[in-house]
Amino acid sequence: MNFKKRTITALILLSIVLTIIQWASNPIFFAFIQLIIMAAIIEFNGLAQRRNLRPQSLLSLLSALIVSLSFVHPEKFSLSQAIVILLFIFCLYFLVYTNSLEKIVYFPTSIALTFLVPFYISFPLNFFYWLRLEYGPSVIYFFLSIIFMGDTGAYLIGHQFGRHRLVPLASPKKTVEGAIGGLFWAAAGATIARFVFWPDLPLWSAFFLGLITHATAQVADPFESLFKRAAGVKDSSNVLPGHGGFLDRVDSLLLATPVYYYLLRLFQ
């Protein structure tokens, strides 16, 4: 039943994502990214609240949107301007909000978590907007092929040959053998996907894009798992049957997406 749920959920999600990437206008594509960001932030804050930490959810969502807007017209509204605005909002908000001894006890962790969220979730995921705007849908498909092939290879090799734990505390099932296998599968997958999605890309560029991109994804995935382990849960939520939550689905992309974007600029 779990496999059936996972398959149905994956097919529905994949259909929606590919349709949006391929045919949506830029404003709709941007709005779609924001919906995913908002859902992931709500789940992240839910993890923190399980440990009686107190991130300010509405402020997190507002901050994420301000960061996102800096990707629309960066020449008119840059990330540095967004940070200045956020600093002002945070100072003003917490001066007013922190009005009791109980709240001042939670003030350091509350402001730290609330400020972390837009830069941990919103900032990296908005690079999808730039990828589509500057390179087109095919480059995103190429990127997703790297992630999918690398994850598949890591699972298959790790399941068959995995003996040495990679990061036992964060992800007990991940192994060194699986990680190495994932890197080679990602590099091979990128080389193959290059013929379908990006035939003009040199083979050596495709190989190294696959290798480096998935290496960063392998760092981001267990990093997100640390938050779940700290909260004492397996998944960030159960909103996606068989797949956990939105944060679980985008965890490896939170580092891989901006790295992939800047690698493209470097290779060109």
Helix (H) or strand (E) holding 165: strand 165-167
Distance CA 257, CA 262 (A): 9
pLDDT in single tens digits along all 268 residues of the chain: 465 777 788 889 989 999 999 999 999 999 999 999 999 999 999 999 998 888 999 999 999 999 999 999 999 999 999 999 999 999 999 999 999 888 899 999 999 999 999 999 999 999 999 999 999 999 999 999 999 999 999 999 998 898 889 888 888 888 999 999 999 999 999 999 999 999 999 999 999 999 999 999 999 999 998 989 888 888 888 888 877 899 999 999 999 999 999 999 988 7
Beta carbons within 8 Å of 78's beta carbon, 6+ residues apart: 70
Quick one: which of 53, 59, 42, 119 has its CA closest to 93?
59
* Residues 20 and 28 sit within 8 Å (Cβ to Cβ): yes
State the DSSP string of 61-85: HHHHHHHHHTTTSTTTS-HHHHHHH
pTM of the complete model: 0.94
